[in-house]
Amino acid sequence: MEEKSYKEYLEHITTFIFDVDGVLTDGTVTVTTSGEMLRTMNVKDGYAIKTAIDAGFKMCIISGGSNEGVRKRLEGLGVTDIFLGAHNKIDQLDAFLAKYDVKTENVLYMGDDIPDYPVMLIVGLPTCPQDAVPEIKNISKYVSHKNGGKGAVRDVIEQVMKVQGKWSGNFDAQYD
């Protein structure tokens, strides 16, 4: 039996779940003299997250990190299900899926490193940024051409929304 192309999964996605460090950020942490850890997020990823939520997609963040600045940024985009300090991501995944009665085959998850591995084995469309570790790339049905924190999240959200006819940013037809 031949393996399905990742594009065949896009029309069935109702839910996006993302890791933070290495997915929504480039994985770099700047530590201040007071010990605060600063991260940088891409505004294009943020636009895509907000656009997906506004279009009715479910959105969840599951991260091992526990930076409250990250929580504030994501809440500002409209994300309500944010699990920080998650050491066993399966527990948070199960709780989220049960809360919204979501089937795993309707979930796109993007991770970049070993803590994401168990969740990625369960979901319908495991994806990762271009700079993910080899173990994660090997189990991903789609590897973005973008690195973490550099538009990988926008890449997968935009693809799903375009396939489903929900992406409002497609202006190509106006300029043909």
Euclidean distance between CA atoms 49 and 44, whole angstroms: 9
Mean pLDDT along residues 130-148: 98
DSSP 18: E
- Selection from 84, 73, 82 nearest residue 40 by Cα: 73
Residue 83 confidence (pLDDT):
97
Give the right CATH number for 18-166 from 3.40.50.300, 3.40.190.10, 3.40.50.450, 3.40.50.1000: 3.40.50.1000
Query: In the numeric block, which tokens belong to residue 166?
Result: 């929900």
Residue 176 confidence (pLDDT):
42
**Pairing mode, if any, of strands 125-128 and 107-110?**
parallel
Which has more confidence, 153 or 67? 153
Residue 170: is its pLDDT beyond 60? no
Residue 147 pLDDT class (50, 70, 90 cuts): very high
Q: To which residue do tokens 């309707």 refer?
A: 106
Q: What is the mean pLDDT of the chain?
A: 93
pLDDT above 70: percentage of residues in the chain: 94
Residue 36: is its pLDDT beyond 50? yes
The continuous run of DSSP H or E covering 127 comes out as: strand 125-128
Euclidean distance between CA atoms 114 and 21, whole angstroms: 12
> What is the C-alpha R_g of the chain?
16
Interior angle at CA 57, CA 53 and CA 62, nearest 5: 80
Mean pLDDT along residues 113-124: 98
φ and ψ at residue 30, rounded to 5 degrees: -95, 125
What confidence tens digit (pLDDT) does each residue in 58-95 have?
Answer: 999 999 998 889 999 999 999 999 999 998 999 999 99
